[in-house]
Amino acid sequence: MTDELPDEHPDGLPELRASDADREQVAEVLRDAVAEGRLDMEEFEERLEATYKARTYKELAPITRDLPAPGVTPPAPTVSMVKQPAGAGGWAGRIVGGDGSSRWGVAVMGGFERKGRWTMPKRFNCFAFWGGGVIDLREANFADGEVVVNCVAIMGGMSVIVPPGVEVLVRGIGVMGGFDHREEGVEGDPGAPRVVVTGFAFWGGVGVERKVTKAERLRQKEERRLEKLERKAARQEELEESRRRALEGSGSGDLGHRDSLDDARSIHRDAMEQHRELMREHREARREERRERRDDRRDRDRD
């Protein structure tokens, strides 16, 4: 009698069951891809959901088929899309020169928005009357190392959103209104642009926020989840080790009895500490969910 072999996939992949480690490895490739801009958020979320639902290698293989393997750098494109030295990266790669892709924003009893992949000019002028506008620089390129956002808000409001690492200077004047100065004084990263927010607000306001992109926020959430799983696994190993010592010492007479009592107390303390840690993690998760819902509602309102 011969054992039946698993069916072969046309690509040569057998119908073998995938492990949690296999799924996490695919998820790590997807996180790297979204951080590098190879996937947008919608594609990332679809593939990540498919990854955690996959049960076999056959289902996992297509998810990263069009992405480079970890540690493998694909060849650079022959033609550079921006005027910069070959190999430049980081903030230097986002200061591209030129005139910018948009130089004005006007909202009269309405609204405007500049967000996503766009080029911030050296000076962006915006006006709001009974309306509002959003200037989102988190994914933007910059025409210069120092750019100016000139806001005039009359019974209206503006919101300027900058990524971490950017230096912000606020120079606006408010009359029965105001400019948000909370993000001033934060030192910028080396080579990062400087954003100067200026203008005039009358019965209105100009806010400045420092936020990460949705992709980065999701990546940070995944990192925290993995760290919690690692801590949980480590605590479980310690608890199992304490139980093993208690069982080994149970048959060694009075000394073994005292050791068993000590181990039992240790197990109880570990269990209580694990319970407290789980409760802390639960509270942190609830706070994180509330923050994400609040940010999502704010983004939907702007859309």
Q: Phi first, then psi: give them for residue 34, nearest 5 degrees.
A: -70, -35
Other Cβ atoms closer than 10 A to 163: 21
pTM of the model: 0.49
Q: What is the pLDDT along the chain (303 residues), one digit of tens a residue?
A: 444 444 444 444 557 888 887 888 888 888 878 777 788 777 888 888 888 888 888 888 888 888 876 655 555 444 333 333 333 347 888 998 888 888 899 999 888 999 888 999 999 999 999 989 999 999 899 999 999 999 999 998 999 999 998 999 999 998 988 898 988 888 888 889 999 999 999 998 999 999 887 777 777 777 777 777 777 777 777 777 777 776 665 555 444 445 555 655 666 666 667 667 767 776 777 777 777 777 767 666 655
